[in-house]
Amino acid sequence: MRYWTKPIRIELDKEKVSLAKEFAKAVAVTTNYSDSNQTNRAKIEKDHFISKLGEEAVYQAYKLFTDEISVPDYTIYAGDNKSWDSDIIADGLRIAVKAQAVTAAERYGLSWTFQSSEKRTDPILKQPDNWVCFVECDDLHEYMCKIFPPVQIKALKFSEPVLEHLKGKKKVVYAKENF
């Protein structure tokens, strides 16, 4: 279900940004990404923050077209109880959200990563008919988000990450190859 075919820009209000910051701070201490060689707590916190901003932006984008939409989940799940549910459900359609900060895009190219290793794989990679929305969050101009039209996993071109130590652990969707 594609209500839009070109990127939509959404500016997030300060209340949503503050809520996302609080969530990121709280969830970062419950997260273990050592299997991805990620132990930098500040980076983990920022990743969760940008991710939650992406969910808020996708929620607001869908609200332009429908009232049948779930709100972003701010529950903190402990350990193995972490939720792998879809980030947003709109008109009964389950949608994953992937977000990247502008500052990261400047370093690595506008792209979004999926975990793909023997130890941990994003479940959506095994669900080719599922949908995903990609978001670019401008962390330099707090916080304008660019939401790309939803796309099915099977329509995406996946590539290897730029960083050598992430190869074999992540799959990457580069904007220049997909949009």
d(CA 179, CA 177): 6
Instruction: Give the pLDDT confidence score for residue 33 in this predicted structure.
Output: 55
Show the DSSP H helices in the chain as ranges: 14-28, 41-63, 102-108, 175-178
Tokens standing for 11? Answer: 């500016």
d(CA 121, CA 152): 17
Tens-digit pLDDT string for the chain (179 aa): 679 999 999 999 999 999 999 999 998 888 665 544 456 788 889 999 999 999 999 999 999 999 999 999 999 887 665 666 789 999 999 999 999 999 999 999 999 999 998 888 889 999 999 999 999 999 998 889 999 999 999 999 999 998 898 899 999 999 999 99
- What residues have CB less than 8 Å from 174, skipping those under 6 apart? 109, 110, 111, 157, 159
Name the phi and psi angles at 141, rounded to 5. -130, 60
- What residues have CB less than 8 Å from 60, skipping those under 6 apart? 10, 12
Tokens standing for 55? Answer: 């969910």
Task: Decide: pTM greater than 0.85.
Answer: yes
